[in-house]
Structure 1
């Protein structure tokens, strides 16, 4: 213990763990053990950042207000989180089709038969809910919670990568100079743990308590990705951490922000600005990028919610006019996920009779509210209106 303390004290005296913005000579093939502690300085005074912070905060608040008007926010959060899970996994080059994903979440048996890529996407959503549950229970973000998110994403019992692990980030096989090292995260006895402790102090306001939470999210997202605390799954863990932090600080009541879609569209900029902070201390472009991601994503999410709400109202009106047993509860169930199986409806409505269920679904089909598809012996019912909105 004394050895580590002396080591970190020496690093601090040399300015290696200072929070100052500075250009650094950085060898990408060597561990970035000179990663500065948080907070950086001289950011909040920037006029461009302050202006963007105001517009992003307003957009985010509008999303949260709209979600609160929903009769069952968890239903919609569950649907949108599936899209976020898919998009976040695509950033890491993990691809699955909407069709396969929707089939997998419609039934736990089908999920067990899903492809490895689809299972990874589903684990992302499970990790999001695990983190959300922990925040509701503890009221804070801690290391155990972050490790739990990673463990669920990667389906492992592992945690912080050990100091001897030669973890490096390389260019993808489809990129120019494939295999080239583009970043080597910090490593060594106690280094990652020290950096994570500082990050958690920053998130909990033990450090720099007066900085706007949305600005802190931008800064802490870079720091988490630069620390790269896990052997794998850091990108997805970091994007979940963004949402959970916004929830923890009361900027969102539910983890409903489709941020990964923006990053996919502007993926090159994302990695370019990450590298800019690492190599030259260029915080401003990175912060403006993330704030714009929040603002544009909030607007898209707002429109998505509006479209779903309008479609739900239209479907409810049509259902009541054409099916005598159709209710608001059934209408919400039809919009709980894009693909449905009779068993789900039966369990929710406590209908044990298969004959009755078949009759219900036949009437829903006849009314044009669901469409049937078969995959081998499996039968699914698709809410095509919801699918069209989600994939639009």
Structure 2
């Protein structure tokens, strides 16, 4: 089949792939190691006293890096301030808002999947709308959507891919992908392999005018949660993709142009394995630091307890109100005294920006920076 990047790829094959790849020896070997790494990470998530805290830490990194893949950048400092609600709305830059929407989409999608126990079109649409802050849906049949090279690339602006286009065509291919993901009787492929295959398919279908990359990366994590391979959507998958961005797009185009599924699947399984190991190390580092900080805090302050310690590690920047509400302390003087003690004990640092004071968990930030 001849492929012309300037013409809509209406002949995009339906799933599953015609060529059987699940029995390939190299794919099977990589599937074993990546599944094992993912299982280890999933087990270690339960070591955290409150696993949902990862949505505020590791998932925030995923959000920041996933948007950076789309050339949307924000600084750690501004992002952490915005998350902790210490930055006023009018001072939050558009790029930071994009990152925060991604994180919210991750969390919203997680709740949808837990409730429905499947990835469906409604889940995909709601995830996309949360990411884009939009009410739009699948791109209209007449919209001339194309994928071009970025401005920083050689031959910038050149069309490199034209997704399927036509009345009902995108919807039909999306329905096929959704059926492939959910029907484990008809399509009995290992779920990790299904994730790899469906991620290519989603990006090739390109159902939305914008935001497909971010939506696809959220769907990867939601599907792993849906199939019980991941307790929380906190795999830092975008870091590997960002580091190996050229390979990511090269292997995507390889499937489109030559039906080269094996290199693409090996790439994605390697991404899962390496980022599972990274996430696992982050969890271990965070729990170890939490334990050390709890011992230190209790030795310095009578009021310091396990709940306060967990709150301090829930996000890098901490508002005094969070601790006040937790301890039911309403006195501003008492709360100021407590935070002074936290700074003196070097559990928190602080910085000033005009009249605003920010209390920072520097140990957590260093762990997240790797």
Same fold (TM over 0.5): yes
Aligned positions of 1:13-28 closer than 5 A:
24-28=1-5
From 278, 291, 297, the equivalent of 1:300 is 278
From 62, 75, 91, the equivalent of 1:84 is 62
User: Which residue of 2 is the match for residue 194 of structure 1?
Assistant: 172
Q: Distance in 2 between matches of 1:198 and 1:209?
A: 11
CA RMSD of aligned residues (A): 1.1
User: Which residue of 1 is the match for residue 241 of structure 2?
Assistant: 263
Q: May I ask how many residue pairs the two structures share in their alignment?
A: 369
Stretches of 4+ aligned residues off by more than 4 angstroms: none
Q: For structure 2, which runs of at least 5 residues remain unmatched after alignment?
A: none
How far residue 209 of structure 1 moved from its aligned partner, in angstroms, is 2.8
User: Which residue of 2 is the match for residue 93 of structure 1?
Assistant: 71
Q: For structure 1, which runs of at least 5 residues remain unmatched after alignment?
A: 1-23
Q: Distance in 1 between matches of 2:146 and 2:256?
A: 15
Aligned positions of 1:309-324 closer than 5 A:
309-324=287-302
Deviation digits for residues 195-228 of structure 1, max 9, x if unmatched?
0000100110167431100000000000000000
Q: Does 1:222 align with 2:200?
A: yes
User: Which residue of 2 is the match for residue 368 of structure 1?
Assistant: 346
From 25, 33, 43, the equivalent of 1:55 is 33
In structure 2, the CA distance between the partners of 1:357 and 1:147, relative to structure 1 (3 Å rule), is: same
Contact 2:308 2:326 in 1 (8 A): no
Aligned positions of 1:1-392 closer than 5 A:
24-40=1-17, 41-107=19-85, 110-111=88-89, 113-205=91-183, 208-392=186-370
How far residue 85 of structure 1 moved from its aligned partner, in angstroms, is 0.2
How far residue 246 of structure 1 moved from its aligned partner, in angstroms, is 0.3
Contact 1:105 1:111 in 2 (8 A): no
Q: Distance in 1 between matches of 2:364 and 2:301?
A: 20
Q: Distance in 1 between matches of 2:64 and 2:90?
A: 18
How far residue 256 of structure 1 moved from its aligned partner, in angstroms, is 1.4
Q: Distance in 1 between matches of 2:325 and 2:352?
A: 21
Q: Distance in 2 between matches of 1:30 and 1:348?
A: 59
How far residue 111 of structure 1 moved from its aligned partner, in angstroms, is 4.6
How far residue 79 of structure 1 moved from its aligned partner, in angstroms, is 1.1
Contact 1:103 1:110 in 2 (8 A): no
How far residue 68 of structure 1 moved from its aligned partner, in angstroms, is 1.2
Deviation digits for residues 354-384 of structure 1, max 9, x if unmatched?
1111111000000011111112222110000
The TM-score normalised by the length of structure 1 is 0.92
Per mean C-alpha deviation after superposition, the further-off stretch among 235-244 and 69-78 is 69-78
Contact 1:77 1:256 in 2 (8 A): yes
How far residue 76 of structure 1 moved from its aligned partner, in angstroms, is 2.4
